[in-house]
Amino acid sequence: MGKQADAALAARLADWKSAFKDEVTGIQTIMDDMLWDYAAFRTAISIVYLANQRQRANNPQDDAATLNQMLFNLLAKGYWSSLLLGARKLLDDGPIRGPRGVNSLRAILSDIKAVQPKLTRRVYVEKLRMARYDLEKLQQVNWETLKAANGMPIWGDPALMQSDFAHRDFDYLSGVKPADRTELDLIDPMVFDLFESRLAQLDEISEHTSTHIAHAGNAESRLGKGLEQFDMRDAREVLKALKELSDRIGLWFADSGVATLAVYQGDQFEALDLPAVASIDLPELEANWGIIDQDIDSWTLSPEELLTGG
C-alpha cells in the first residue's frame, strides 16, 4: 500500500477504537451503563420482594402496599426505556463516520468488512494490535534469555505475549493453523456472517424501540413489532448477548477491554434502611402535588396567543 492508503487504513483502525472508547457514547460506555442499570434495577425488584415477604410474615391478612407504586412505576418505566434504547444504539446500522456517524457494533463490523482485503495478518498484528509481527524471533530470544538465566527468575518480555495473543486471535479470524501462518492471511468472510447472525437475533429489540420509544409510531408502523411479556429474564438474555458480542468485537478489533459491573466508589446501599419520607412530611407532598396539578392545567395556548405570537 502507498502512504495515502496506509494513512486511510490507519484512520479506520483509529475509528474502530474510538467507537469503543468514546467516553460519551462509546460502546464500552453504553455497555457499562447498561450493566450497572441492570444490577440496580434487579436490586430494586429485590427490595420490593423482601418488603412483601416481610409483610406477609408479620401480618398475612394485610395487603397494604409496602412501597410507593408511583415511584416504583417511574423507576421501572425509566429502566425499560433505557435498556431498549441502549440495545438499539449498539445495533444501529448507520455508518461509523461522517455527520450521521454512530458508535455501534454493526457500524464497526461493516467498516471492517469493507477493508477486509487490506487487513492482512501483518497489518492486524502490527497496526491494529500494536504488536511485533516476528513472533518466532521473539520466542527464540526468550528461550536464549531463559537459558542464560540458568534457573534464576527473570522478567518475561511483554512484547512476546502481545505478539502471541495477536497471532492467536488472527488464527481464529482467518481459520489458518499456526503452522500455516503467512503475513498475507486474511479474515475469513464467514466471521462477519456469524457476527451478523447473532446481531440479527436482537433486531426485534431495535424494531420495537424505534416504533414504541424512540419514535411515536402509529398503529400501522407498530404492527408486529411489540415485545410480548418481555421481563427480566429477557433483559438478562439481551444484555448477555450484547456483552458477549461487544467484548469479542472489542478484543479483536478495538484493542479494548471487556465490559464489567462497575465498582461503586462508596456504598450503593447507603440509606436504603431509612424511610424515604416521614409521616409529618406527607401533607406537604400532597400540597406540592396540588401545585403541580394547577400549574399543568395552566399550560394552554389560546388562538389569540398563537395568532399574535404572544
Q: Does residue 6 have a pLDDT over 80?
A: yes
304 contact partners, CB below 8 Å, separation of at least 6? 310
pLDDT tens digit string along 125-177? 999 999 999 999 999 987 787 777 777 776 778 999 999 999 999 999 999 99
Q: How many domains does the chain have?
A: 1
- Answer yes or no: pTM beyond 0.85: yes
- Confirm if 230 and 212 have CB atoms less than 8 A apart: no
pLDDT per residue over 8-44, tens digit each? 999 999 999 999 999 999 999 999 999 999 999 999 9
Amino acid at 267: D
Burial class (CB in 10 A: 0-12, 13-18, 19+), 224: exposed
| Domain-located, residue 100 | yes
**228 domain-assigned:** yes
Number of other residues whose CB lies within 10 A of the CB of residue 116: 15
In a domain, 275, yes or no: yes
The string of pLDDT tens digits covering residues 217-249 is 999 999 988 888 899 999 999 999 999 999 999
Distance CA 246, CA 262 (A): 16
Buried b (16+ CB within 10 A) or exposed e, 74-110: eeeeebbebbbbbbbbbbeeeebeeeeebbbbbbbbb
Least confident of 72-76, 146-150, 266-270: 146-150
295 phi, psi to nearest 5 deg? -65, -45
Q: Is the pLDDT of residue 1 over 70?
A: no
In a domain, 106, yes or no: yes
Strand (E) or helix (H) holding 38 = helix 27-58
Report yes or no on 200 lying in a domain.
Answer: yes
The closest alpha carbon to 240, from 212, 201, 190, 269, belongs to: 201
Please give the full DSSP string across 259-290, using - where no structure is assigned. ------SS-TTTTTTS-SS-GGGHHHHHHHHH
pLDDT of residue 94: 95
Give domain status of residue 150, yes or no.
no
Q: Which domain holds residue 33?
A: 3-119+187-281
How far is the CA of 193 from the CAs of 68, 150, 188, 199, 207, in angstroms? 48, 50, 10, 10, 21
